[in-house]
Amino acid sequence: MSEGSQNRVEPPVSPISKPFWDATRERRLVLQWCRDCDAPVHYPREACPRCLSASLEWRAASGRGEVYAVSIMHRPGNPGMADRVPYTVALVDLDEGARLMTNVVGCKPSDVRVGMRVAVTWEPLRDGRALPLFEPAPRKEAHRPQAAGRPARRSRSSRLKSGDGSKQEVALRPVRLASTSRCGFCLPAACSSGVAVSSGPSSIQTPASK
């Protein structure tokens, strides 16, 4: 379990997201699922974004996945993360098909790679909830298991790949998102007051740089 921080911006709880956060009190990761198109829904919402069905239910998730993209933050996205730099902000594809923004802990930031297998761990919050973070999975989980009857997520790397296919290191600029400060599901380490990424130097690895 990851050690908590008294300064981390804690996510708000809404009536829709309450079951998600209630489960974290028991260190359980749950996802919304659409009963009509049998697909995961994250972040929690009132209707499925794929088929617009309101027939949603909560199901347990395995807590396993792989890194889709990662950025190493050399300056904090918000002042509460100043004692953690450098740290990673990553997009993790869960085996169930949902994608989460999170931190990868339990290893050096420079060791986090696209395609790396990870497992959920928990950072306690002050109100008894826990924030789902991820850490390297055991070595035996070298490859992502394919869920029965579910096609693999299509990679977008062909659109992003450079001519020589090499790893790209780029400096990020602040990106303003109109709704991130209200949804409660952009990780506070990466999103505070609508700022999606760090305003300072960072490095990023995407599927193109795998």
DSSP-assigned states of every residue in 147-209: PTT-PPPPP-HHHH--TT-----------B-SSHHHHS-S-TTT-BTTB-S-SS-EEEE-GGG
Q: Which domain holds residue 192?
A: 63-140+157-210
What is the residue type of 16? I
Structure tokens given for 8: 């981390």
Residues 127 and 69 in one domain: yes
Contact between residue 105 and residue 134 where contact means Cβ atoms under 8 Å apart: yes
164 and 207 in a common domain: yes
- In this prediction the pTM is 0.70
What are the C-alpha distances in Å from 206 to residues 7, 92, 99, 179, 210? 29, 12, 14, 24, 7
- Split into its structural domains, the chain has a count of 2
The confidence score (pLDDT) of residue 145 equals 55
Give the amino acid at 166. S
| pLDDT for position 133 | 96
The reply to whether 199 falls in a domain is: yes
Low-confidence ranges of the chain (pLDDT < 70): 1-6, 141-210
Gap between the terminal Cα atoms of the chain = 28
Together in a domain, 73 and 135: yes
Mean pLDDT, rounded, of the chain: 76
Same domain, 57 and 68: no
Residue 196 confidence (pLDDT):
33
